[in-house]
Every structure is written in structure tokens, then in C-alpha cells.
Structure 1
Amino acid sequence: MKISIIIPNYNDGKIIRKTLCDIGEMMETTSYDYELIPVVDGSTDNSISEIMKASNVFPKIKLIHYQNNNGKGAAVTVGIAKATGDYIGFLDADNSTDLNSYLKIIEYAVKNKKDCVIGSRYKEYKGVSQPIVRKYAGYTYSYLLNCMFRIKVRDIQCGAKLFSKKSIGIILNNTHLKGFSFDIDYLTKLKKEDVEIDELQVSWKHYGTYDIRTNILLVFLIGLPMVKDVVKLKLNKMSEFNWEDVYYSRY
């Protein structure tokens, strides 16, 4: 059984080596074969050199990079398209999801032969540390999307998800969203094909400032484009994109 884990990266050079080493150490404690796939989404910092340092310690790191910044969703989609695992998932570069929680997701999916298992901060809200502004913004966004798309998921945006090959095949067919709102694109595609979505509570810690003003500003700067994208998705006005168009822009 092979597990592929995608880590999207945009100018995360300060943290990416530790994140990859932490994930590598976790996977080395298991009996699974694995690969870690950091996808450098047009970063302009030292991300690539830091990833190469991590790969000297963990040879199962497989770097993907391309020239233009296309968005987190594009990076994850490229990563899952190039992955070779029996199960393929992703984690955020800031390591905000507790890795023991993610290991439970892997074990649950493999043991029960699940096609889609996603982490949730809000199913029970245990072991979660985040600014109150982010907490209620997350609640509101998930509620809005559940009303729009009726997928019945408490936490749509948590950066800890795992898919079977069957689900990956569905996801890669006619992908639309390249930015932060890509999760709903994935999940609605799976729902349309009657794929069961299992949601497990994860421990999670916010990476970054807890300053209220800063987080309010970030919610608006990030949140408004996300809402715009999902409205266009709902109205079928989002253009499709092919992961190969993103990947081969590296040349």
C-alpha cells in the first residue's frame, strides 16, 4: 500500500524543510510505502533549495515545480495528477494539522476502504487552536457552501484530505478552481458521483498571527475572491483548466 502526500508551496521556504521532515518521520513509523510531493507554485524564495535539503534526508520526496504562480488549488491538482500512490492526499505547508490526526485519516481510509476521508476542525472542535475571527469565518463559509451545494460537510477548507484512486480519477476530470476555494470543486465532483465523504475530527493549530485586525484583513483579502469563485462555480461560469497546462509552464 502506497500513500502519496501533496504539499502545495508558495514562498514557504522558511518552513517547508521542517514540514517535509516531520511528515517523512511520521511515514517512516508506518508500514506504508510513501512519497511526499511538494509542489512549488512559482515561488520566488528559497523553497526549492530547502526542499532539496530535506530530500537528502528523505529520498522519497519528489519535487515538482513550475514557473508561474497559479494558486493553491492548481498546485494540489498538479501534485495529485503526478502522484503514484494507492491513496493520495494533501497537507498544508505550515503543518497546521496535527500529523497524528492525519495518520488516523490514512489508517481509517485504508482499513475501511474509503474513497474520500477529510479532516475537520469543526465536527467536534476538539484540539483546535485558531483566531476567533478565522473560526467564525470558517463556520460561515462552510455553512454558505453547504447551502449552495448541499454536500453536508462541516469543514470544507481543512487542509487535510485523502482520496482513493477512484476519487482522484473523478477529481481530475474537468477541474475548475485554481485558488484557495478548490476544495469545494473536488467535493462537489465526488458528491455528484455518489462518493461517500467521511469526515474525521483533527487536532489543528493556527500558523501565524492571532492579531484580530490582521486576521480580519486576511479574511476579506482571501475570503472575497473565494466566495466569488464558488458563486461562479455554482452558476457554471468557471472555465475548466487542465493540470498539464499548469505543469508544463515550468519550461
Structure 2
Amino acid sequence: MVDINGKLSVVMPAYNEGSCIYVNVLKTIEILHKFVDNFEIIVVNDGSKDNTKLEIQRVIQCDDRVRMVSSESNHGKGAAIIAGISETCGEYIAFVDADLELNPDQLEGFLIKMVDDKKDAIIGCKLHKDSEIEYPFIRKFMSMGYYVMLLILFQLNVKDTQTGLKLFKAEAIKPVAHLIRTAGFAYDIEILAAIHRRGYSIGQMPVKVVYVREKGSRRIRIKDVLKAFNDTWAIFYRLNFKKYYD
């Protein structure tokens, strides 16, 4: 067990995950039991068109540590994460993707590093030298390009902001959560830029990724990439010209 002297809140956004969300939430509970005593899971149904909401309700009946936030329409992953954060009551808040490509058991190492290194946030990094991942060249090229852009714009010395597995102290993320305006994939950088602006420290951890999506499935489209690029510049403007996060 990791001695964190508090509760761990896990926020799990879900969109059209009806085929796996029931099993994956139960699996997450089983995993968390191994290294933390006190936890909760906030599953956010982001306007799913399938039976995701019904499957979340089914798992809630199995364990009262699971709660749901639900929207009738799809607002994007960033909006789902922020909605989940608003419902947490733990001293530590983690983000976990519903498909469990990033196994929640890795949060044990995140918690240990946070305590040992006295960090306010620990983020997973697919580009870390110790990460175990089969990463397509084009995705690695795009990630490196985005890393250089973020380093120049925000002086964040982190190589990868987009990996779904993240851990924060509630005292660092909750005061800025209501300021986050990016609903899409660039929400990560807005959160990190906001807490960095307020003097909180960020550490990185290697991750192991096990792909579970069907071969050929595309979760991120070109228009998503373009929107993330535009959102990043909007964050830079709010950060440096409007002093929005101060």
C-alpha cells in the first residue's frame, strides 16, 4: 500500500464505451485495491449514443465507490475531465482512460514518485526512454513537434502532455479547473500551463501502453489535430497577454 494520507479520486471520461465500461470499471476497482485503501471512481458519460450510461449505472449498483456524471450531448474529453474533477472529494485526483490502454496499476508508481519527489503533478510520458510502447513513426514525429512547440511557448520541460494517465494533488488542480476553457484534446496543456503558472511542480513517468482498439480504428482525426493546434495558441494568448490563469 502507498501511504498517501488521503483519498484517491479517479476520473474516467467515457464516450460510446458501452461494450467495455462495465468490465473496465470493475477491473479498475480491483487494481486500485492493491495499492490504495481509500478511493473513488468518477465515470463521466460524455453524451454517449450507445448503452454507456446504462452500463455505468449497472456498475454503480455493484460498488458505491463509483459515481457518475452524465451529459446528454458530447462536449469533448476536456469538458468531461473538468466535469469529473468538480465531483471529486479526494486529496489526489487521477485521470484514467476508459479503454484501459494505460493500465491503472501504473498509478502506484505515480503516487510513489509524487510523495518521494514532492511533486504536485505526475504525468505519463510515452516519449520517456523507459516507456513500453509500439509508437507509429508519424505519431512520434507529431508528438516531438508538439513538444518543441510547448517548450517554446510555455517553458514546460515535459516531453508529452497528451498521455491519458495523469495524477494531481487536488490543491493544485481544483483551484484552476473552473478556468479551463478547452473542451478538446488540448485540455491537457491548459491544465498543466495553469498549474505551472501558479508555481506547482510537474514530474514525468514512463508508461506501458497496450492497444485494445481494433486495428485501423482512428480516434484522432486531422480536424482534431488542427483544433488542438488552434486551442494551444489560444491558451498561450490567455496565459501571457490576458494573465487569465494568474
Please give the TM-score of this superposition, normalised by the length of structure 2: 0.87
Which residue is 1:23 aligned to? 28
Which residue is 2:120 aligned to? 115
Which residue is 2:225 aligned to? 223
Q: Is the 8 A contact 1:102 1:119 kept in 2?
A: no
- Letter of the aligned partner of 1:154 in structure 2? K
User: Which of 13, 19, 28 lines up with 1:14 in the alignment?
Assistant: 19
Q: Is the 8 A contact 1:2 1:87 kept in 2?
A: yes
Q: Report how many aligned residue pairs link the two structures.
A: 235
Q: Deviations over 1:178-219 (max 9, x none)?
A: 1111000000011111111011111112342554xx65x945
Q: Which runs of 5+ in 1 are unaligned?
A: 240-251
Counterparts in 2 of 1:91-240, with a 5 A limit?
91-211=96-216, 218-236=220-238
Shift in CA distance, 135/219, structure 1 to aligned 2, threshold 3 Å:
farther
Distance 2:61 2:10 in 1: 18
- Letter of the aligned partner of 1:32 in structure 2? D
SS of the counterpart of 1:141? helix
Which residue is 1:245 aligned to? none
Distance 1:228 1:43 in 2: 26
Q: Which runs of 5+ in 2 are unaligned?
A: 1-5
User: Which of 84, 108, 113 lines up with 1:79 in the alignment?
Assistant: 84
How far has the Cα of 1:142 moved from its partner?
A: 2.3
Q: Is the 8 A contact 1:4 1:84 kept in 2?
A: yes
Distance 1:192 1:218 in 2: 28
Q: Is the 8 A contact 2:32 2:104 kept in 1?
A: no
Say which structure is richer in helix: 1
- Letter of the aligned partner of 2:67 in structure 1? K
Shift in CA distance, 18/102, structure 1 to aligned 2, threshold 3 Å:
same
Q: Is the 8 A contact 1:131 1:206 kept in 2?
A: no
Distance 2:50 2:214 in 1: 21
How far has the Cα of 1:139 moved from its partner?
A: 2.4
User: Which of 40, 46, 49 lines up with 2:45 in the alignment?
Assistant: 40
Instruction: Tell me how large the CA RMSD over aligned residues is.
Output: 2.2
> Identity of counterpart residues, as a percentage?
26
Which residue is 1:51 aligned to? 56
- Letter of the aligned partner of 2:198 in structure 1? E
Q: Is the 8 A contact 2:91 2:171 kept in 1?
A: no
Shift in CA distance, 14/133, structure 1 to aligned 2, threshold 3 Å:
farther
Distance 1:65 1:218 in 2: 23
Shift in CA distance, 132/168, structure 1 to aligned 2, threshold 3 Å:
same
Please give the TM-score of this superposition, normalised by the length of structure 1: 0.85
Distance 2:146 2:214 in 1: 21
How far has the Cα of 1:131 moved from its partner?
A: 3.1
Distance 2:70 2:112 in 1: 29
SS of the counterpart of 1:191? helix
